[in-house]
């Protein structure tokens, strides 16, 4: 069965710790919280957003592709979870701990999507699957399997629109930041 090791969570925690140490080093060196619009703030925000895009696009492409077999679905789901934790953490650090305006709304949507993803991971692991992500029939009672499938379907109807709203808001934020920070100067 898949997703029983928590490898992606350990990797995310380790990389998150490394990012925290680097961030802390920048704070100690500059004696201030890195501003979102300064070099370090931009870099961490851009890298975090790229990871978030990878979270959404690559896993979705692999999941929906019937012809391509670019690795096991379990590996792609682990990658999705890893980038879905590390990317938002980097974007959170990019905020400089200021949550006003559209950027604040994007941050709120980011927190909501991560929490939703944690719930989705829990529901997903309740359904026994092969390494390729196919459900294993007969391992749960029919009522329990049907309930887990219904919860997963409900979760998808909530998680996906929130993710779409997040990315639409993020692209508007990025467009506005580029316009006001570079084109008006």
**Cα 77 to chain centroid, rounded:** 11
Q: What share of the chain is helix, strand, coil (3-state, %, to 5)?
A: 75, 0, 25
Per-residue pLDDT of the chain (185 residues; tens, 9 = 90+): 344 568 888 999 999 999 999 999 999 999 999 988 888 998 999 999 999 999 888 877 777 776 667 777 778 888 889 999 999 999 999 998 888 888 889 999 999 999 999 998 888 777 766 655 566 666 667 787 778 788 888 998 999 999 999 999 999 998 988 888 777 66
pTM (2 d.p.): 0.81
Q: Are 152 and 124 in contact (CB under 8 A)?
A: yes
Within 13 Å of residue 106, how many CA atoms lie on the same side as its CB? 23
* Structure tokens given for 162: 């929130």
């Amino acid at each position: 069965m898949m997703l029983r090791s928590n490898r992606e969570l350990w990797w995310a925690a380790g990389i998150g710790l490394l990012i925290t140490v680097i961030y802390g080093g920048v704070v100690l060196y500059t004696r201030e919280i890195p501003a979102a619009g300064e070099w370090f703030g931009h870099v961490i925000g851009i890298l975090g957003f790229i990871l978030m895009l990878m979270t959404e696009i690559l896993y979705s492409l692999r999941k929906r592709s019937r012809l391509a077999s670019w690795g096991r679905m379990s590996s792609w789901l682990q990658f999705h979870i890893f980038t879905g934790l590390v990317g938002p953490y980097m974007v959170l650090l990019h905020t400089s701990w200021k949550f006003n305006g559209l950027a604040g709304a994007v941050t709120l949507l980011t927190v909501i999507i991560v929490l939703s993803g944690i719930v989705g991971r829990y529901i997903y692991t309740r359904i026994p699957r092969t390494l390729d992500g196919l459900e294993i029939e007969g391992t749960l009672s029919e009522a329990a399997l049907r309930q887990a499938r219904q919860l997963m379907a409900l979760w998808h109807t909530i998680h996906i629109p929130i993710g779409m709203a997040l990315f639409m808001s993020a692209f508007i934020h990025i467009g506005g930041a580029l316009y006001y920070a570079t084109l008006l100067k």
